[in-house]
């Protein structure tokens, strides 16, 4: 009766799979694994796993580890080092 309608989202796509996939680390949050599956990119942080969706507002990715709560990530590259910026919470460096 009070259920929110879930907005339709587009699966996140990225041209360079090798550049995005892999293990990232944050001293605050631990290891984040980005993997490519037949359904799209998955983000796993401990036991939390979510598909990545397009985030047109922030030009990045939306993750929904908890139903109804979205988190956003953006990919940044400093030279050869890739990092995922986790909203305003910090960043994960690719290992």
Is 85 domain-assigned? yes
Mean pLDDT in residue range 34-45: 96
44-57: per-residue pLDDT in tens?
999 999 999 999 88
- Phi, then psi, of 78 in degrees rounded to 5: -110, 95
* Count of domains observed in the chain: 1
- Coil/strand/helix, residue 89: coil
pLDDT of residue 39: 94
Is 5 domain-assigned? no
Is 71 domain-assigned? yes
pLDDT of residue 8: 83
Structural domain harbouring 90: 31-94
Q: Are 26 and 32 in contact (CB under 8 A)?
A: yes
Is 22 domain-assigned? no
Which sign, positive or negative, has the C-alpha torsion 90, 16, 56, 66? negative
50-76: per-residue pLDDT in tens?
999 999 888 899 999 998 899 999 999
The rounded Cα 51 to chain-centroid distance in angstroms is 8
Residue 6 pLDDT > 90, yes or no?
no
pLDDT of residue 4: 64
Full-model pTM: 0.88
Share of the chain above pLDDT 70, in %: 94
């Amino acid at each position: 009766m009070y259920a929110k309608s879930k907005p339709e989202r587009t699966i996140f796509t990225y041209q360079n799979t090798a550049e995005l996939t892999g293990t990232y680390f944050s001293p605050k949050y631990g290891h984040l694994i980005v993997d490519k599956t037949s359904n799209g990119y998955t983000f796993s942080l401990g036991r939390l796993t979510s598909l990545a969706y397009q985030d047109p507002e922030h030009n990045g990715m939306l993750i929904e580890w908890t139903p109804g709560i979205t988190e956003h990530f953006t990919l940044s590259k400093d030279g050869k080092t890739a990092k995922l910026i986790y909203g305003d919470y910090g960043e994960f460096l690719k290992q």
